[in-house]
């Protein structure tokens, strides 16, 4: 719980000097920029900056890294909205309504919405961490393979039922993704579907595959259009309209709050941050009175996805700060920076350095204010993309995407993956199969299979084992309820309509 002495010490630490704060703006800018090239990742940026760490004091180093982290959490949304190319898996949900908004000339508003959502999500999760980092971290450790398996299944089922017009096609696309996700050496040491290619031993490179699926499906669609925004009058970058978008966000407080809380909860589970934005988006769409508006450029879609994206990233900070156990690439690099400053992670970290933990959390809260300003300037600049002719923009994005995928794999495997999945994405789009379901399946496939295997191994083949996992059981019930209830509801509505029609015809 909240340790007031440590909190005061933390405030003192933060307020005693301006120097730790000098690194906030560069950190945020690096974070924002790194995702302008699809394929570059936050952990890469952090790793590149590691040699700087010994020259900073510990607090400065941590503020620098968390600033970079904060910037990158929002940075992924910018290409997602403007170009439909999510900067990372965590921004997939943002594309659903963000890009349609941009196409309709509401790019200013969409970016404004996303900025507020990202700041809001980060504020919520860091407030939660301030009070509950310890218990959250301890809870996270209780989540083992069975829980992670149920979460993955939940992700695939939800995206399958909610994307596209056909339930069966959504589920089929999700399963296709899951199967593709199992390519590579399994946790049991068996290579599958690698065709003797060493590069596939680690599975299909996920980021180039996703960029391929999305970029191709959407960018090929843009061929023939002059600009992202058709209407000349709308093709503007106006600060006032970004502000309008930011104001609009506050009209949907429940959507944001729900997204932030869902994101915080799911972010605790390792790998959860890739799913949080989708679950939040699906939830927002499920509870909406007019779900059919989602996917056509609904501000609530952007808000739901972005708040969850931002807050889920904080979840993995909880396990790092409270337990010193990294659950993701970026937090792993941060742990390295801890050790470079001779501070080892672990529960003793929280115990011995509670003031520093609080200082990091408070600094993150303060950074949100800086992010709001720096992010505003950044999206103002980025918004000018809408003024670029598509015949210049599309090849540029594709080139950048190819370079990004090359940077990720350091060889031609990245670009080849991108090309292959571009073709798959294009075909799926043509045949009206939801690409996003396949993406989610692909993201979760490897973990889902590994966790199924581990659940089986832990149980020793005994079904009774599942009864000892109450959290998994609750999650499974939620999975079934959240996917079947809307189905039942829509079937009932359809039945009622059918009955009415029948009555009309036969009366």
Partner 1 sequence: MERRTFLTSGAAVLGSSLIGAAAGCSRFRSVEGNRGDQAWPQRLLTIVVPFDVGGSADRLSRGFAQYMPKYLGQPMTVVDRAGASGMIGTNWLLQQPTDGYTVMMTPATPYIPINIIITNAHYTLDDFTFVNGQWTDYSALIVAKDRPWRTAGELIDAIRANPGKISTGVDFGSVGHIETLAMLEALGLKPNAIRFVTFDGSGAMHAALAGGQLDFYIGQSESNLVIRDYVRTLAVFLDHRVPDFPDAPPINDVLKPYHATVPLIAGSVRTFVFPSAFKVKHPVAYAKFVSAYRATLDAPNFKKFLSDNQMAGDWVGEARTTQIIREQFEVLSKYKSLLNKS
Residues at the interface with partner 1 (CB under 8 A): 40, 43-48, 50-51, 54, 140-145, 185, 187-189, 191, 198-199, 201-202, 270, 319, 323-327, 329, 332-333, 335-336, 339-340, 342, 344-348, 406-408, 410-411, 446, 450, 453-454, 457-458, 460
* Beta strand segments in 199-238, E: none
DSSP 8-state code for residue 195: T
Which residue's CB is nearer to partner 1, number 331 or number 367?
331
Which residue's CB is nearer to partner 1, number 324 or number 486?
324
Which residue's CB is nearer to partner 1, number 289 or number 410?
410
Residue 386: CB minimum distance to partner 1, A = 27
Which residue's CB is nearer to partner 1, number 49 or number 73?
49
Which residue's CB is nearer to partner 1, number 318 or number 370?
318
**How many angstroms separate the CA atoms of 396 and 391, rounded?**
9
Residue 152: CB minimum distance to partner 1, A = 14
Residue 327: CB minimum distance to partner 1, A = 7
Residue 28: CB minimum distance to partner 1, A = 18
Name the CA radius of gyration of the chain, rounded.
Answer: 23
Residue 43: CB minimum distance to partner 1, A = 6
Which residue's CB is nearer to partner 1, number 45 or number 62?
45
- Which residue in 116, 119, 104, 427 sits closest to 295, CA to CA? 104
Residue 182: CB minimum distance to partner 1, A = 12
Contact 258, 421 (CB under 8 A): no
Which residue's CB is nearer to partner 1, number 258 or number 446?
446
Beta-bridge mates of residue 191: 185
Which residue's CB is nearer to partner 1, number 24 or number 46?
46
Q: Give the alpha-carbon dihedral of 469, 473, 474, 479, to 10 degrees.
A: 140
Q: Count the Cβ atoms, other than its own, within 10 Å of residue 222.
A: 18
Helix (H, G, I), strand (E, B) or coil at 239: helix
User: Rounded to whole angstroms, what are the CA distances from 146 to 57, 271, 443, 472?
Assistant: 41, 14, 18, 6
Q: Count the Cβ atoms, other than its own, within 10 Å of residue 325.
A: 18
Residue 248 CA, chain-centre distance (Å), reads 22
**How many angstroms separate the CA atoms of 337 and 344, rounded?**
9
Residue 92: CB minimum distance to partner 1, A = 23
**Pairing mode, strands 191-192 and 184-185:** antiparallel
Residue 473: CB minimum distance to partner 1, A = 16
**Burial, 253: exposed, middle or buried (Cβ in 10 Å; 0-12, 13-18, 19+)?**
exposed
**Burial, 332: exposed, middle or buried (Cβ in 10 Å; 0-12, 13-18, 19+)?**
middle
């Amino acid at each position: 719980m909240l340790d007031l002495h440590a909190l005061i010490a933390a405030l003192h630490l933060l307020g005693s000097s301006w120097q730790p704060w000098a690194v906030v703006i560069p950190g945020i800018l690096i974070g924002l920029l790194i995702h302008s090239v699809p394929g570059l990742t936050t952990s890469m940026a952090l790793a590149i900056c590691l040699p700087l760490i010994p020259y900073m004091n510990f607090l400065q180093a941590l503020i620098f890294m968390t600033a970079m982290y904060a910037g990158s959490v929002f940075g992924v949304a910018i290409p997602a909205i403007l170009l439909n190319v999510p900067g990372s898996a965590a921004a997939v949900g943002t594309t659903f309504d963000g890009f349609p908004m941009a196409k309709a000339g509401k790019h200013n508003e969409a970016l404004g919405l996303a900025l507020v959502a990202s700041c809001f999500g980060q504020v919520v999760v860091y407030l939660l961490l301030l009070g509950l980092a310890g218990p959250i971290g301890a809870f996270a450790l209780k989540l083992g393979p069975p829980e992670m398996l149920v979460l993955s299944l939940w992700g695939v089922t939800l995206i399958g039922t909610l994307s596209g017009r056909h339930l069966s096609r959504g589920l089929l696309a999700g399963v296709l993704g899951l199967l593709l996700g199992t390519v590579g050496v399994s946790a049991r040491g068996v290579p599958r579907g690698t065709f003797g290619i060493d590069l596939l031993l680690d599975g299909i490179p996920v980021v180039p595959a996703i960029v391929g699926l999305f970029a191709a499906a959407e960018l090929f669609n843009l061929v023939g259009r002059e600009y992202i925004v058709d209407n000349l009058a709308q093709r503007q970058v106006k600060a006032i309209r970004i502000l309008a978008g930011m104001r609009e966000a506050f009209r949907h407080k429940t959507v944001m709050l729900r997204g932030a809380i869902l994101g915080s909860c799911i972010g605790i589970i390792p790998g959860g941050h890739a799913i949080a934005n989708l679950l939040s988006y699906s939830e927002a769409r499920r509870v909406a009175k007019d779900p059919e508006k989602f996917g056509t450029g609904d501000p609530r879609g952007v808000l739901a996805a972005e708040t969850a994206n931002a807050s889920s990233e904080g979840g993995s900070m909880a396990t790092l700060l409270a337990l010193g156990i990294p659950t993701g690439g970026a937090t792993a690099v941060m742990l390295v920076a801890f050790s470079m400053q001779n501070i080892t992670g672990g529960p003793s970290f929280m115990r011995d350095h509670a003031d520093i933990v609080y200082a990091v959390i408070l600094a993150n809260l303060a950074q949100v204010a800086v992010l709001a300003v720096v992010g505003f300037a950044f999206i103002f600049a980025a918004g000018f993309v809408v003024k670029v002719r598509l015949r210049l923009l599309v090849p540029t994005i594709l080139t950048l995407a190819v370079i990004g995928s090359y940077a990720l794999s350091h060889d031609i495997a990245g670009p080849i993956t991108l090309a292959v999945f571009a073709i798959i994405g294009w075909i799926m789009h043509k045949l009206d199969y939801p690409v996003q379901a396949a993406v989610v399946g692909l993201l979760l496939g490897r973990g889902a299979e590994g966790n199924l295997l581990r659940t089986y191994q832990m149980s020793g083949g005994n079904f009774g084992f599942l009864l000892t996992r109450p959290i998994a059981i609750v999650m499974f019930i939620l999975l079934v309820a959240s996917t079947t209830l809307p189905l039942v509801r829509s079937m009932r509505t359809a039945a009622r309509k059918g009955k009415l029609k029948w009555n009309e015809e036969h009366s």
